[in-house]
């Protein structure tokens, strides 16, 4: 049973401000480093909207990665220090790979990077400067173009053959410490997203150009979150799917300020691992 058949309106919810994409002329672009003189850091300006975000705890079993574009999973781990890059790669990567291969019934899973975030009040989100800040705009990490390009970038010798099958980019996101009350993650039900809502946007690095989706406001969007996630829980987020058979291909999401967060709540600490998931056709 999908969310279409559940009584969404009966679920608890909070009303919070989410930052959609404001109207912009031309393709939006953001520099991942200091921009050239005279150019703004980003042309993707926020358009805030107050929206209800429903507590999905009671309907977690009805939520599907293929249908809604996200899912809550139980995923205990043995990592002692998520700020130790060597431990992440030696201990966490193999565990995530095995978990996703089994959970998604995949033929192969390849992890291509990870990001640790620790919210610091008033801090800017700086790449390559230690832990990142929560991402507070509605977005999808990949596009139809960049999702396939990830395969070419990370597995160039095998890309042509791998792209003949089904390819997904799946993020596994979790709190480092819980219960998480600060800056939780909100996900939109992918069945309520129109293709016109997704705006391809350039992300410019010193040596390459990536592409993500910014998201235009649509009153039909239906938002969910899982309050007070523990360190043994994780979210699967769909960032790209090559399948065009009606499944959700892109899952918009964003961090948000929960108005019910206690003033003394510990700042959010989280880690996301980005993976390529392959299925033979």
Residue 183 located in a structural domain: yes
pLDDT in tens, 164-183: 999 999 999 999 999 999 99
DSSP 169-211: EEEEEEESSSSB-SS-EEEE-GGG--GGGEEEEEEE-SS-EEE
Residue 257 located in a structural domain: yes
- Domain with 125, as residue range(s), is 20-221+230-279
Beta-sheet strand order (sheet of 253-255): 13-21, 46-55, 223-225, 185-188, 253-255, 139-140, 209-215, 198-204, 29-31
Asked if 210 and 202 touch (Cβ cutoff 8 Å), the reply is yes
Residue 77 located in a structural domain: yes
Q: Has residue 129 got a pLDDT over 80?
A: no
Residue 252 located in a structural domain: yes
Tell me how far CA of residue 240 lies from CA of 64, 101, 186, 237, 249, in angstroms: 15, 17, 18, 9, 5
Q: How confident is the model at residue 2 (pLDDT cuts 50, 70, 90)?
A: low
Residue 12 located in a structural domain: no
pLDDT in tens, 26-55: 999 999 888 999 999 999 999 999 999 999
Q: How many domains are contained in the chain? A: 1
Residue 252: asked if its preceding bond is cis (omega within 30°), the reply is no
Phi-psi region of 105 (alpha: psi -120 to 50; beta: other; left: phi over 0): left
pLDDT in tens, 71-127: 999 999 999 999 999 999 999 999 999 999 999 999 999 999 999 999 988 777 766
Residue 111 located in a structural domain: yes
Asked if 269 and 109 touch (Cβ cutoff 8 Å), the reply is no
β pairing state of 185-188 and 223-225: antiparallel
Residue 24 located in a structural domain: yes
């Amino acid at each position: 049973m999908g969310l279409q058949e559940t009584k969404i309106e009966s679920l608890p919810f909070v009303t919070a401000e989410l930052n959609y994409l404001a109207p912009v002329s031309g393709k939006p672009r953001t520099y991942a480093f200091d921009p050239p003189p005279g150019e703004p850091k980003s042309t993707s300006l926020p358009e805030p909207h107050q929206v209800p975000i429903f507590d999905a705890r009671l309907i977690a079993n009805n939520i599907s990665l293929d249908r809604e574009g996200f899912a809550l999973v139980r995923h205990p781990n043995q990592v002692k220090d998520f700020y130790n890059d060597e431990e992440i790669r030696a201990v966490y990567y193999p565990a995530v790979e095995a978990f996703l291969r089994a959970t998604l019934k995949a033929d192969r899973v390849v992890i291509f990077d990870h990001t640790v975030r620790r919210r610091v009040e008033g801090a800017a989100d700086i790449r390559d400067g230690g832990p990142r800040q929560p991402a507070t705009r509605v977005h999808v990490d990949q596009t139809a173009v960049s999702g396939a390009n990830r395969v070419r970038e990370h597995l160039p010798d095998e890309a042509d053959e791998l792209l003949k099958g089904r390819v997904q980019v799946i993020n596994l996101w979790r709190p480092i410490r819980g219960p998480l009350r600060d800056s939780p993650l909100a996900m939109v039900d992918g069945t309520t997203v129109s293709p016109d809502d997704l705006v391809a946007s350039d992300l410019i690095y010193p040596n390459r150009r990536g592409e993500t989706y910014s998201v235009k406001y649509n009153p039909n969007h239906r938002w969910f979150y899982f309050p007070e996630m523990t360190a043994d829980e994780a979210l699967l987020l769909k960032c790209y799917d090559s399948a065009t058979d009606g499944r959700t291909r892109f899952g918009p999401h964003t961090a948000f300020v929960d108005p019910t967060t206690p003033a003394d709540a510990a700042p959010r600490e989280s880690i996301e691992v980005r993976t390529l998931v392959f299925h033979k056709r």
